[in-house]
Amino acid sequence: MPTDQQLLPARHLNEFVYCPRLFYCEHVEGVFVHNADTLQGRAAHTRVDTGGSGLPKAKAKKKTARKSKQATANSPTPTTDVAEAATESDATDSPEVIHSRSVQLYSDKLGVTAKLDLVETSTLGDDLFSSVTRVTPVEYKKGKPREGDDGPEIWPTDQMQLGLQILLLRENGYACDEGVLYYRETRQRVSFAMTPDIEKWIHEQIVNARAAAAGPMPEPLAHSGKCPRCSLVSVCLPDETAYLDAFRPASAPETQQLGLEGLLEVDAEEPAAEAIVAQAETLPDRLNWGPFAALPEIRLQPPKPPEDVRRLIAPNEETKALYLNTPGHWVSKKGDNLVVKEEGRQVAEFRLHDLHHLGIFGPVQLSTAVVQILCERDVPVTWFTFGGWFYGMTRGHSLKNVFTRIEQFRHAADPELALMQSRLFIHGKIRNQRTLLMRNHLSPPKGALKAMKYLSRSALHASNNGQLLGIEGSAALLYFACFAGMLKHAEADAPVALDPQTEFSFYFDKRNRRPPRDPVNALLSLLYSLLVKDCTIACYAVGFDPYVGFLHQPRFGRPALALDLMEEFRPLVADSTALSLINNRMLSPSDFLWAGQSVNLAPKARKQVFNAYEKRLAASVTHPVFGYKVSYRRAIELQARLLAKCLTGEIEQYIPFTTR
């Protein structure tokens, strides 16, 4: 093996035989996600991995003596178990059997390293350590063996893993011709004999795995029965990727008709909506490139679940977000729980296992032990000012992938590539704003709806980023001009006789921020901060740098890509939550207070906002392309993963998340 190549773990080579794409995700991108099967497997190895013991020294044979020293040097301090319990080893009646657990071996020749669950060493003679005659690796699996013509057989993936262990033992000077698989589900020991053909196959798989690691992401398995129980199915998205990739065009057109001259030249004397409609009507009906040229009405052939797209993504997590916004609270760790104290008195206790992330508002203190355990468990801590401004996040080093970020930086540095994604973000946002108006406005203005329809189409033809931002601004002007019509009691709360310094209402006439100067805008600003927090978490989960975006330009401390991703979810999550809070009278004007020139929510009222926001994220929605039910929280992560697949070339074009 060349000196610059890293050792391949035997576990990853096992996964390469199972699925090259799974191998790539774990070995190259460093992505790993637990599911029920992996957690059961980890629990099954707990006893094996504890109390590790070293192998007896192999007999020195010319060049193998040095490697034997290397192998035992990497193992824990040698201890031995003689005549282990029959429940684990009943293959021999000899009492002179040494059981060595959790043995670490490697081979420079093979370029492979492995951790062996158990090695049985059979000996002859009186001296157990100088009369080694045979070693047999024993691997533990939680499942059951494959039924063959001649009885139970081990699976190809297990052949790879156990065969590598046999070769590693040979490389380190031990006599080994067979191994044993112990399947816990059926409590069977199945023997595996090494043959020249299997050895040749193992060497070929090692070469193929290294070639796969040096190349692009392998194609997903086609409707494979392996996918549903794979722990990385929600990362790999095999059916979704294959479904979208099927629409890749054979060749791209030489020219793209993306010009849009004079769209924003609106006459001040003409109503804005009518002016926009008149200018947008001259646009072509669709884009002339890509497999989704039918945007804004995406005309893909509808999928046929479960034949085309199975709902393979992991179910919604049962964990929850914890928000702390009381000044002076102190959070410490006690066992597997977080304890919240106020002035030395315990006021709450939460299980770490139940946390999805921790949100801190204002001067709330965390102990070092809390930060450390949350980083270890990959539970992000998000930091907000007391007024709700999202300014930072703390998380562990769980994500090691850099290839997605390389493509992200390449696209962000190229204005044309960045514009391709930016058009779709804004197109999705405007469509969802229009949908929300149609659903909730008492009498939606037809002119505004028509103008927003054409603006969403116009976004796909913007020739530069400045023009696209102008289209977004025009649509926002129309949308927020109609926003008050979605508030059921806005007219009753009009500020006719209210003192603006002491009393509030839910009257809304326009969007204002930095700072918000009325209750509705204060509520929207807080909800947008919560949403950008969740989009930032999704960016990190996928492997993006959230501070390098396409539409929003990089600026110190601003998560530009998270802001890009959240555009299409602003109406669906944040605005919708605000309408529910106000229209269902979950908040009242008395829940707001003045803070200088701005209006903020009172601390107690924020709990209502947090609860309503999390409830909205947990709500199910039918995915507009794939046809299965998914929560909004999962939809945000799914969109981030589709964006990553677009940037890395797995699919042709990103599709914004839109509802009807």
* Total residue count of the chain as it appears in this document: 660
pLDDT tens per residue, range 193-246: 889 999 999 999 999 999 888 888 888 888 778 887 787 887 888 888 877 777
Q: Write down the pLDDT at residue 535.
A: 93
pLDDT tens per residue, range 181-204: 888 888 888 888 889 999 999 999
Return the exposure string of 332-370: e unless at least 16 CB atoms fall within 10 Å of the residue's CB, then b: bbeeeebbbbeeeeeeeebebeebbbbbbbbebebeeeb
Flag the least confident range among 108-112, 307-311, 384-388, 651-655.
Answer: 307-311
Q: Which is higher by pLDDT, 300 or 515?
A: 515
- For residue 350, report the phi and psi dihedrals to the nearest 5 degrees: -135, 145
Q: Write down the pLDDT at residue 510.
A: 65
For residue 585, what pLDDT band results from cuts at 50, 70 and 90? confident
For residue 655, what pLDDT band results from cuts at 50, 70 and 90? confident
Asked if 343 and 328 touch (Cβ cutoff 8 Å), the reply is: yes
Q: What is the CA radius of gyration of the chain?
A: 30
pLDDT surpassing 60 at residue 253 = no
Q: Write down the pLDDT at residue 95.
A: 46
Average pLDDT rounded to a whole number, residues 483-512? 58
pLDDT mean across residues, the chain: 76
Separation between Cα atoms, residue 157 and residue 14, nearest integer Å:
5
Asked if 333 and 351 touch (Cβ cutoff 8 Å), the reply is: no
Separation between Cα atoms, residue 655 and residue 650, nearest integer Å:
13
- Residue 539 CA, distance from chain mean position: 8
Separation between Cα atoms, residue 10 and residue 116, nearest integer Å:
10
pLDDT tens per residue, range 614-626: 899 888 888 888 8
pLDDT surpassing 70 at residue 125 = no
Average pLDDT rounded to a whole number, residues 269-283? 55
Q: Write down the pLDDT at residue 362.
A: 83
Q: Find all residues with CB under 8 Å of 491, minimum gap 6, and list them.
A: none
Separation between Cα atoms, residue 300 and residue 625, nearest integer Å:
8
The token duo for 139 is 């691997």
Q: What percent of the chain has pLDDT over 70?
A: 72
pTM for the full model?
Answer: 0.76
Report the C-alpha dihedral over residues 645, 649, 650, 654, rounded to 10 degrees.
Answer: 50
Read off the DSSP letter of residue 300.
Answer: P
Report the C-alpha dihedral over residues 622, 625, 630, 631, rounded to 10 degrees.
Answer: -90
pLDDT tens per residue, range 280-329: 555 544 444 444 454 444 444 444 544 555 655 544 556 788 888 888 88
Cis peptide before 156 (omega within 30 of 0): no
Three-state DSSP class for 95?
Answer: coil
- For residue 524, report the phi and psi dihedrals to the nearest 5 degrees: -65, -40
Average pLDDT rounded to a whole number, residues 488-498? 49
Report the C-alpha dihedral over residues 23, 25, 27, 31, rounded to 10 degrees.
Answer: -140
Helix (H) or strand (E) holding 104: strand 97-107
Q: What percent of the chain has pLDDT over 90?
A: 10
Read off the DSSP letter of residue 567.
Answer: G
Query: Mind listing the domains of the chain with CATH numbers?
Result: 8-218 (3.90.320), 320-394 (3.100.10.20), 399-647 (1.20.120.920)
Q: Find all residues with CB under 8 Å of 335, minimum gap 6, and list them.
A: none
Report the C-alpha dihedral over residues 557, 560, 562, 565, rounded to 10 degrees.
Answer: 170
Q: Write down the pLDDT at residue 436.
A: 92
pLDDT tens per residue, range 519-569: 888 888 889 999 999 999 889 888 888 889 998 887 776 889 999 999 999
Asked if 434 and 456 touch (Cβ cutoff 8 Å), the reply is: yes
pLDDT surpassing 80 at residue 78 = no
The token duo for 29 is 């991108």
Q: Write down the pLDDT at residue 43.
A: 59
Average pLDDT rounded to a whole number, residues 605-630? 86
User: In this structure, which amino acid lies at residue 280?
Assistant: A
- Closest among 235, 219, 217, 218 to 312, alpha carbons compared: 235
Q: Write down the pLDDT at residue 200.
A: 92
Separation between Cα atoms, residue 120 and residue 579, nearest integer Å:
67
* DSSP per-residue letters across 596-657: TTEEEE-HHHHHHHHHHHHHHHHSEEE-TTT-SEEEHHHHHHHHHHHHHHHHTTSSS-----
Q: Write down the pLDDT at residue 648.
A: 87
For residue 489, what pLDDT band results from cuts at 50, 70 and 90? low
